[in-house]
Amino acid sequence: MKHLGVIILILILGSGSAFAAVGTPQPTSHSQSASLSASVDLPTWYPGDTWTYSIDPLYSSGENGTFSGTVENFQQTVVGVHDDVYDLVVSADISGTFTSGSLSGDLTGTITGTSTTRRSDLAQGASILASSGTITPDFPPIPLPYTADVTYASTPLLELFDFPLNVGDQWHIHCQSTTTGSIDISGLLDQSLDGNQTIDEDVSCPQQATITVPAGSFTSFEIARDTTDGWYSSEAGNLVKSTIDQSDANGTVHAVLTLQSFNRSIQPLTVSENLSPSVLFPGESVIVSGRCLNAGTGTPVINAAVTVTIPATGDSWTTSTNNNGDYTYTFDAPVVQDDTPSGRETGSSGVVVLCHSGSLDGYCVRTLTTLGNTPPLTPSINGPATGKAGEKYTCAISSTDAEHDDLMYLVDWGDNTTQWIGPSASGANITATHTYTNKGMYLIRAMAKDSHGAESAWGSLQVKMPLSFSYQPRFRFFERFPHAFLLLRLFLQAK
């Protein structure tokens, strides 16, 4: 009987964005197409958007028994949006067979509930589900009613996607999930379903392919987790397929979710949005622009109020449409931070553009990504401690950049001479040469600058340059005393 709780948890994990449960990436035979786009941005959901899935097969086994069945009409519908949150309702039908010790039989029931999803990145909020139905043992075949309720939440929110999705991307998710609830089977079981789980894993987008499910064929991006293989489609605005295949000492779970049908609602006002650039360093300028049209007539929405918001940072600006329904606004990018660290990103979050005119409104969401740039390490300078004035002096300079950017080096030779050398790959030695004209002690300094302008501290090396000379004492003596040769000759003749 405990497996009913496992089944409900599987559904809960997917109630915000279609089956975001844990599972192992499996090799795929789906063919890739070179014509497919290698990037896709955050979808814009609107009340009335609906996705209907089936979970078939659904199998769970463990020390307490097994369950084998299906979930049909697993439906998610957006019913509202407030602040930065989509509100969804969830419903499903579940059926199957179970074994538990010497007891076996059939289970049929329904699942209903609500969930929330963050609009700016589709991170999953709280889910509250309830299930009821009957359990009929093989013997005696007397139907027993059951009820179950489960609340699932995570801190921070489970951010399965790191938009925009690009083939080759990898990001990390970390959160603590909390489950509370119970299951009651009349006369047999009254059990708590409370528990905690730490989710700490890398997620990647290894490929793009065409995925065919009952709802159609979709250009999709693979979302590969430790024990899940999911496929996201921008056309559907959600996952179209997801497979769990998990097996460990505690048992086995195998489930395949596929999209059966979906419906995307039309907003009263159609809003387009473009961010230029969409990936940049904090403080750089971003131009957000687009057009607002009446969805019913296709005509421009003139002089309408437009609000631009970055929910993750709390920034908000206002502008308006012109006589063509176009709007534009320029702002300085704030530092965006999220819970899916990836490479040099400080974070990514949706920018929401809301157009309002009379009783009508519409919105669009696009992702803004800000970058961090770690300065290179202090360069090392390796060369002889001494050289010769008037001759070339050679040394090797090297630094390492955390983001593996190419590096340029500014070299100060200590004699009022500086020069730039490079570029050079991070970690590689680059040769620098210089000729000193005067003898003396010199402090050579070098600073590294990466391709995005971050500068290191100065490294240094002290060198000595004695005067360069050739030891030729006879010629040097007569050079310095031009009359000595004549005196020496007279002296010899006197002898």
pLDDT tens-place string over residues 114-146: 999 999 999 999 999 999 999 999 988 999 999
Question: Please, which pLDDT band fits residue 192 given cuts at 50, 70 and 90?
Answer: confident
The whole-number average pLDDT for the span 405-433 is: 97
Q: Give mean pLDDT, residues 437-453.
A: 95
Q: Hunting for tokens 């065919």 — which residue is that?
A: 212
Distance CA 400, CA 377 (A): 6
Say yes or no to pLDDT of 22 above 60: no
Predicted local confidence at residue 482, as pLDDT: 58
Rounded alpha-carbon distances, angstroms, from residue 150 to 5, 190, 410 = 8, 14, 62
The predicted structure's pLDDT at residue 37? 57
Within the chain, all domains assigned CATH 2.40.128 are found at 2-263
**Residues of the chain by 3-state class (helix, strand, coil), percent to 5:** 5, 55, 35
**pLDDT at site 486:** 54
Please check whether residue 381 is in contact with residue 458, taking contact to mean a CB–CB distance below 8 angstroms. no
Residue 455 banded pLDDT, cuts 50, 70, 90: very high
With cut-offs at 50, 70 and 90, classify the pLDDT of residue 1.
very low
Is residue 3's pLDDT more than 90?
A: no
Which pLDDT belongs to residue 193? Answer: 84
Q: Indicate the range of 225-229, 246-250, 480-484 predicted with least confidence.
A: 480-484
Q: Quote the pTM value.
A: 0.81
Among 67-81, 189-203, 434-448, where is mean pLDDT lowest? 189-203
Query: Per residue, what are the HEC states of 287-318?
Result: EEEEEEEECCCCCECCCCEEEEEECCCCEEEE
**What's the pLDDT at 483?**
55
Integer CA distances (angstroms), 437 to 391, 433, 446, 460, 470, in order:
8, 13, 20, 20, 16
Higher pLDDT, 67 or 483: 67
What is the predicted pLDDT for the residue at 489?
55
Given a cut of 80, is residue 490 above it in pLDDT?
no
**What are the structure tokens assigned to 41, written together?**
């941005």
pLDDT digits (tens, 9 = 90+) for 81-122: 999 999 999 999 999 998 877 888 999 999 999 999 999 999
Range(s) within the chain of domains with CATH label 2.60.40.10: 380-465
Fold of 2-263: Lipocalin (2.40.128)
* Cα within 13 Å of Cα(44), Cβ side: 17
More confident residue, 109 or 9: 109
What was the pLDDT predicted at 378?
Answer: 98
| Burial class of 420 by CB neighbour count within 10 A (0 to 12, 13 to 18, 19+) | exposed
CA 36, 39, 44, 48 dihedral sign is positive
Residue listed under structure tokens 């100060």: 412
Q: Map residue 41 onto helix, strand or coil.
A: coil
Token pair, residue 331, equals 């702002």
Average pLDDT, integer, range 157-185: 93
Q: Is the pLDDT of residue 479 over 60?
A: no
For the chain, the average pLDDT equals 88
Asked whether residue 360 carries a pLDDT value surpassing 90, the answer given is yes
Residue range(s) occupied by CATH 2.60.40.1930 in the chain = 269-371
Residue 4 has pLDDT above 60, yes or no: no
Among the residues of 379-428, which ranges form H helices? Answer: none
Cβ pair 396, 476 in contact under 8 A: no
Query: Thinking of the domain 380-465, which architecture would CATH place it in?
Result: Sandwich (2.60)
The three-class DSSP label of residue 236 is coil
Among 419, 421, 412, CA closest to 442: 412
Does 2.60.40.1930 match the CATH number of domain 269-371? yes
Q: Cβ-count burial of 187 within 10 angstroms (0-12 exposed, 13-18 middle, 19+ buried)?
A: exposed
